[in-house]
Amino acid sequence: MNNRALPQTQAVSGLLFSLFLLVHLTNTAIAVIGPHLYDRFQAAARGVYQWLLLEVGLLAALVVHVVTGILRMRARRGARTKPPLRLRLHRYAAYYLAVFVFGHIAATRLPAVLADAPPFFGGVSFSLHFLPWFFYPYYALLGIAGLYHAFYGIPVALGVLGVRAPQVIRRGTGFWVPVGLGAAIVVTALLGFGGALYEIHDPFDNDFARAYEAAASYFSDGSR
Ligand code: HEM
């Protein structure tokens, strides 16, 4: 691949995936308001992004984005200049996402595909009640890393494709205020899933929780 093709492929795949990510993070933010609206939004959005060709395209865009990122990282090896803080944070977010995102997809999609038990609000709520010490930091970092990576990455990707985003969203308060606000909303949404903002239904009483518990007991019985 020539020198321009790699950043361009990474930019296009990142922009395509970010169409889903912005909808997905909006869905997460809606948990601040309540479970009913979260579930209605998710059911409606799913009707689009889980249409087979679109879902395969979404996963393909993600894989291409991660692979081109790794190739560019390898090409940078040995560079001596220290990048600015915002760019370093963008890269740390990428490393976290690359490690966890495929596990996240499997954990949320396999119960739906194998046991007809999609997560909805109750599934995220179940995870937070089942293993709180793991899922609170894991989901907080996932949401904040996704938000930061998209906010920093979208204007950069547009720039690679020759579209200059306004300066106001690229740096300074126009960048940090929405990112900081978005991070606070992710944390507040998790408190909603956790039952700290409003009353929630028993998080262990839903199909997603039952599918996980059945799988867990199947594997623990099998290992005895
Ligand atoms: C606090 C943050 C997050 C929460 C609570 C969360 C929750 C969920 C839930 C409940 C689903 C299942 C959705 C459905 O079946 O319609 C899901 C799927 C998914 N999530 Fe997340 N997510 C978070 C952050 C992220 C981030 C940052 C990314 C990517 C960078 C991501 C990527 C995905 C993908 C690709 C799917 C599968 C979509 C599909 O193929 O249907 N998520 N997530």
Longest C-alpha distance within the chain, in Å? Answer: 60
- Domain housing 213: 5-222
Pocket test for ligand 1, best of 90, 100, 104, 185 (most atoms within 8 A of CB): 104
Q: Residue 141, Cβ neighbours under 10 Å: how many? A: 15
For residues 80 and 68, give the distance between their C-alpha atoms in angstroms, rounded to a whole number. 21
Q: What is the pLDDT of residue 2?
A: 57
Distance 105 CA to ligand 1 centre (A): 7
Q: Tokens representing 28? A: 């997460």
- Dihedral, CA of residue 63, residue 64, residue 70 and residue 73, to nearest 10: -140
pLDDT averaged over consecutive 10-residue blocks of the chain (224 residues)?
85 98 98 98 96 97 97 87 92 98 97 94 98 98 98 96 84 90 98 97 97 88 64
Type of residue at 126: F
Q: Does ligand 1 lie within 6 Å of residue 41's CB atom? A: no
Q: How far is CA 78 from CA 74, 81, 125, in A?
A: 9, 9, 44
Q: Does ligand 1 lie within 6 Å of residue 108's CB atom? A: yes
The number of distinct structural domains making up the chain is: 1
Distance 157 CA to ligand 1 centre (A): 22
For residues 138 and 70, give the distance between their C-alpha atoms in angstroms, rounded to a whole number. 23
**Residue of 144, 176, 169 lying closest to 29 (CA atoms):** 144
Q: Does ligand 1 lie within 6 Å of residue 109's CB atom? A: yes
Type of residue at 17: F
| pTM for this entry | 0.94
35 and 200 Cβ atoms separated by less than 8 Å: yes
Q: CATH number for the domain including 137?
A: 1.20.1300.10
Q: How far is CA 85 from CA 82, 88, 100, 161, 171, in A?
A: 9, 5, 23, 24, 12
Distance 135 CA to ligand 1 centre (A): 14
